Amino acid sequence: MQLTGSQILVECLKEQGVDTIFGYPGGAVLNIYDELYRHQDEIRHILTSHEQGASHAADGYARSTGKVGVCLATSGPGATNLVTGIATAYMDSVPMVAITGNVAVNLLGKDSFQEVDIAGITMPVTKHNFIVKDVAQLADTIRRAFLIAQTGRPGPVLVDIAKDVTGNKTEYTKVIPPMIERVKDTFSSEDLATGIQMIEEAKKPVIFIGGGAVISDAWEEVREFVKRVDAPVTDTLMGKGAFSGDDPYYTGMLGMHGTKTANFSVTECDLLITVGSRFSDRVTGNTARFAKNARILQIDIDAAEINKNILVNHAVIGDIKEVLKAFNDKLEEQKHGDWIAHVMDMKEKYPLKYHERGLTGPFILRKLYELTGGDAIITTEVGQHQMWSAQYFNYKKPRTFITSGGLGTMGYGLGACIGAKVANPDKTVINIAGDGCFRMNMNEIATATRYNIPIIQIIFNNHVLGMVRQWQSLFYGERYSYTTLNDCVDFVKVAEAMGAKAYRITKVEEAEEVLKEALRINIPVVIDCILESDDKVWPMVAPGAAIEEVFTEEDFKAK
């Protein structure tokens, strides 16, 4: 049948099972929006307050479900406003399709009104991108975009569509997308045999879990693998929930703000088994001294990650779920009783601690964990609150901790929170933000209230850019250059003005009642928590130091 480009786009989205789009209209996408109007009962469109919010919402939708998130924006500034969200998704391997409009084909390259080369701009931060100039190519391009976004190592794909393409007609035939099969032929029995030999020879192994284990839905295989190897477990920000934070074998996060137990275990181990992690600098510290006593076995879907940051002794390249299944089928259960006992002694000796005087971020997070039983999706912005959220809320399930790990995007969490709640309406979804981050995209509270999306926004309001101030305090002689937010913004009034229910917590005694009320009322809520300006994230590894040089507040004062 003959359809316009806009009709074809919507039909292709329906083919792919898309039920929600986050976006903002404009001239170059008017034909698309007109068609979405006709299909409101099939595809829900969430109008965000800013295109960046749309990209972060699509990201949160994708991370919390494993499905492809979709965002839509017009040409020029609409398209460029998506770039930070696209880059965020790219760094964390999130499946997303970003659709942008552009000027008509005959106006391309002529500095036309609201024209930018968005494909050129996003080339470094997309898995692939397309410019559609012929309506006959539109359907196949959309189908390819979704396939690329979710196969192999996932990532964002951009499809830029010229405006006249959305109005032109061509023949359309419905195509049912093929089932995406997991790739199983990227590793050999010899690869497995070498890995198994390394495991069997190890006396002090550690398993290090990254985001690849979450992306590949491999948490059941991870748990079985841990049992078979009999090894303590540490993780990255992106790997949280692939192995339960409540499990006795869990030692905490690794790296700059990792636990002493995790950092010391990796330093002492004789085999580090890395599952779906890219060895970020925030994890490794001084690479020359990282896991200095260990052989390293790396399991990853992307061959480009092997020997990129850390030289490894052996790698098995493939889908984490399939690789671990193969290991679990062949590996006999190992026993490392003395090593496990030693690591458990370290857990007892070096627990995470926070000040119990006054209201603190860790206190709020522990109280949230108590009240929810850990059954919540936590999204975050970036900074101290992000680290505390990783440390003090135990993630028992995957896809329940959603944060910008690679790019470190301030302003990410609120949009991601909205996307995650839209995708998971029956789950409690909470965004943890610092006051500096909340300012960046707090306009998305208006999105939550517009659609009555019952998210909970908690602000750790210390009136400073907390993480930068922490570095200035520790490494820059307490010269607080432009990190003090001593203005008159009242977040409670701002939230109420946008239609949300708002509370302020100033002391410990107020916290439980307010949090219980926020969890109960099922409407958009903002909670402004007033914290001390100089509370710090502990433990910490100084930049450039080895992870074994991790220090606590007590260690720092002792120096």
* CA 379/CA 371 separation, integer angstroms: 17
Q: Which residue has the tokens 């003005």?
A: 497
SS3 132: strand
Give me the phi and psi of 411, to 5 degrees please.
95, 0
Indicate if 51 belongs to the active site: yes
Among candidates 239, 288, 293, 283, which has minimal Cα distance to 262? 283
Q: For the chain, percent helix, then strand, then coil, each to nearest 5?
A: 45, 20, 40
238: DSSP letter = T
467 is catalytic: yes
Please report, as a single letter, which amino acid is at residue 371.
Answer: L
- CA nearest to 253, candidates 404, 372, 394: 394
Q: CB within 8 A of 21, min separation 6: which ones? A: 13, 36, 43, 44, 45, 46, 58, 70, 71, 72
Among 14, 15, 67, 114, which one carries the catalytic annotation? Answer: 114
User: Do 415 and 48 form a contact (C-beta atoms < 8 A)?
Assistant: yes
Check if 238 is active-site.
Answer: no
CA–CA separation, 517 and 249 (whole Å): 35
Q: Which residue has the tokens 């609201």?
A: 114
Angle 287-290-294 from CA coordinates, rounded to 5°: 135
Q: Name the strand (E) or helix (H) holding 6.
A: helix 5-15
Contact indicator for 255, 236 with CB cutoff of 8 Å:
yes
* Sheet with 69-73: strands ordered across: 44-47, 20-24, 69-73, 96-102, 156-162, 128-132
Cβ burial, residue 38 (10 Å; 0-12/13-18/19+): exposed
DSSP per residue over 366-435, as a string?
HHHHHHHTT-SEEEE-SSHHHHHHHHHS---STT-EE---SS--TT-HHHHHHHHHHH-TTS-EEEEEEH
**List 16, 96, 130, 163, catalytic entry:** 163
The alpha helices in 210-360, defined as continuous H runs, are 211-215, 219-229, 260-268, 281-284, 320-330, 337-349
DSSP characters for 57-119? HHHHHHHHHSSPEEEEE-STHHHHTTHHHHHHHHHTT--EEEEEEE--GGGTTTT-TT---HH
CB 73 within 8 A of CB 26: yes
Measured between alpha carbons, how far is 329 from 331 in angstroms, rounded to an integer? Answer: 6
List 208's β-bridge partners, or say none: 234, 274
332-361: buried (b, 16+ CB within 10 Å) or exposed (e) per residue? eeeebeebbeebeebbeebebebeeeebbb
Active-site hit among 91, 96, 467, 498: 467
List the one residue out of 373, 394, 385, 393 whose CA is nearest residue 414.
385
List the catalytic residue out of 113, 200, 478, 493: 113
User: Six-digit token pair at 513?
Assistant: 């009642």
Candidate list 11, 35, 51, 381, residue with the active-site label:
51
Q: Which residues are catalytic?
A: 51, 113-114, 163, 467
